[in-house]
A = this chain, B = another copy of it.
Amino acid sequence: MAITPEDLTPEVFAPFGDVIDVQSAKEDRVINEGNTVRYHDLANLSLTEAAGTPLINIFRSTPLPLPITLKSMECHPLSSQAFYPLSENPYLVAVAPAGEFHESEIRVFIANCRQGVNYHPGTWHHYSLALNSVSDFLVIDRGGPEENCDEVDLSQPLVVDLLR
């Protein structure tokens, strides 16, 4: 099985989460005596449920060997998880709707280096899929004592066709 990545836009990604970029800001404010534009509140965060607390982390991800092949997916039922790229590389975002997992509903997007993503609670997603070279991401997620990661294996590998 193979899947072709789609371009990432806030509209197509809305069922899964938020695209974090200045173009998607619903509100921007000029602050700091005119020297800064604040693109305000770019993601719908869910980080404080039950005993949860927000965390800032850096993920350093090595690209999978080509062709990139998806074999499993995961989700965090209790919290959102946001990734913002710190490299100049694009990256892949593979998701499926929250709830009962259906392989046929997997979608793959290609994000550019000025687009972050925020997975809403329960959204199925593949782990960090760097492209080109080792890439860092700033990750805003949740710490807490509860189990907060479900995983599923795909019934067959899904190859991402990057030759579009």
Contact with B along A24-42 (1 / 0, CB 8 A): 0100000111011111111
Tell me if A3 is interfacial: C-beta within 8 Å of chain B. no
Task: Indicate if the CB atoms of B35 and A127 lie closer than 8 Å.
Answer: yes
Number of interface residues of A (CB under 8 A): 42
Q: Which residues of B contact A25 (CB under 8 A)?
A: 58
Nearest-neighbor residue (CB-CB) of A54 within chain B:
B54
Q: How many whole Å from A70's CB to the nearest CB in chain B?
A: 12
Contact of A127 with B40 in the complex, beta carbons under 8 Å: no
Say whether A118 faces chain B, with CB atoms less than 8 Å apart. Answer: yes
Determine how close the nearest CB of chain B comes to the CB of A139; give it in whole angstroms: 8
Q: Is A75 an interface residue, CB under 8 A from the partner?
A: no
Instruction: Please tell me if A62 contacts chain B, counting CB pairs below 8 Å.
Output: yes
